[in-house]
Structure 1
Amino acid sequence: MSTGPIGARSSRGARRMVSAAVLAVAAWPALAAPAPGPAECRTAPPTGDSIASVGARGEMRLSSGGKAVLGSVRWPDEPAMAAAAYRFLAEFRGRPLVVTARGEPDRWGRRRIDARLSGGDGAAEADLAEGLVAAGLAFAEADEGDVLCRPTLLSLEDAPRAAGTGVWAEPVAAAGDGPALRGRAGRFTVVSGRLLHVGERRARIYLDFARRGEDGLTVIVSKRTWRRLLERGLTAAGLTGRTVRARGIVEIRRGPTLDIASAEAIQVLDDRDPAGVRAAPEGGEAEGERAPRR
């Protein structure tokens, strides 16, 4: 599929981001083979392959005949950024890759893969997912899975987010700004703010970033994901009052919500406000259990 033209200035900027990202990740050591873990993250033996064609949304046809997408990344929704991400992958067409498939094919028959340039003949071993994220051309995200198989990609977001480049040109949304979040309904969004209340129910956990009656974000966490957070030492008491970053598709119920399945979609930050976001003011003592805002 065609991505359509974008401006020459945007094209030159995208090429510079691509070049810088490839040079940066080429210098990093190859990741160690992951230990056995969740089924969706388990890896098949690495194979040699190459990209025959790239679709507008990052779908790849491999020379071996299979369909694939890069795992642990979220393709950008904004058309100009999606076109830049497409050009990044297109740079690797026909080049020898080491491809590692994870889990089972998705409902469209695509394998989720890790892919890096083959290191033969002294070539640099640039990792494609790392390059996209480091260039600000994709988010780290578990997509339809319950686990982010490559959580180290989250740290690669730091530089483009601080610089406000690529998908981070739009600032991280403030969790207490309900009207702004309503404007992002249906879009993948990264949100940050002070967590004011944790409501534990039988089936779900509700993380409230606004007081009762105020318009702000609620993050809905499944019990399964909550257990994984507890295993990491993140309790209700330990989360309340902390600055938290969350990511997912904004839905509107009684207020804006993120319904997340991956524990990696919640990051606890330090006591400083995240760049470009004013944290919600801290309230008094934690309220008793209340009905969730839905």
Structure 2
Amino acid sequence: MATVYNTNHDSFTLPGFDLDAFVANTFAEDLGEGLPGGGLDVTSASVIPADACFAGVMDSRDAISVCGLPIAAAFFRALDPAADIELLVDEGARVAPGTALMRIAGQARALLTAERSALNTVQHLTGIATLTRTYVDAMGDTRARLLDTRKTIPGLRVLEKYAVRTGGGHNHRMGLWDAAMIKDNHVAVAGGVGEAVRRALGAGVREVICEVDRIDQIEPALTAGATRLLLDNMGPDMLRAALAIVAGRVPCEASGGVRLDTIGAIAATGVDYISVGRLTQSAPAADIGLDFTPL
């Protein structure tokens, strides 16, 4: 089910994500709140006059798919509620190097204190969205949908999965609670894929995804009632053979070792989904800058 979210920078919401708490906790870490001598930006407080004002532009230095601007705005707004902030592009927009993303003007000390937290967030989320878009493009005109995984930074899952959606991908499980995913270690303890699937269904789980890495595991998993198969570490030829056996009885997902140079061939086999852990695990930060000038 698609998640509904509002990307207006004054009312940005994501289910399961507390923006105010995220901003407050990020500042507490950066400012050293509760530590001896902490609680302030010593550089800005000592160098910048209290009444100084700045104006600045956040811009891209790379070709990117933009993500996180409303969150960046929230950082600036938290320290300077009267700051004048204008978001110049929409979330998910694909922009060229040199594109202006945000204009901001306000109290110099506040903007400088918030700058790094805002940029870190936008650079990280834009990096994920941009990499996701690159993979989606490489899949070509196929039926397959690109999925993320649970390979996320602890505490940032909701944001990172939002970035995947912003880049044109889709979310797999949000966590351990919203679907059963039976993998090789579960199978080893349960004694087989069929028995593992039966136990999950017997416990009342409605969606049971079962990982198979051999052709002979497919029928036992389907007979037991698996609602989706994860075809693990299978090349295109083996995927086609697996899909012929499944014959459309359940959706099938290809996973394991998927790379940018192989995802097109994998998508062309006819799988319903392809999951890629590196979307969140290995996406490089986007090169986005922010330069201020005194007013």
State the TM-score, normalizing by the size of structure 2: 0.31
Bigger radius of gyration among the two: 2
State the TM-score, normalizing by the size of structure 1: 0.31
Structure with the greater relative contact order (CA < 8 A, sep ≥ 6): 1 or 2?
2
Give 1 or 2: higher helix fraction. Answer: 2
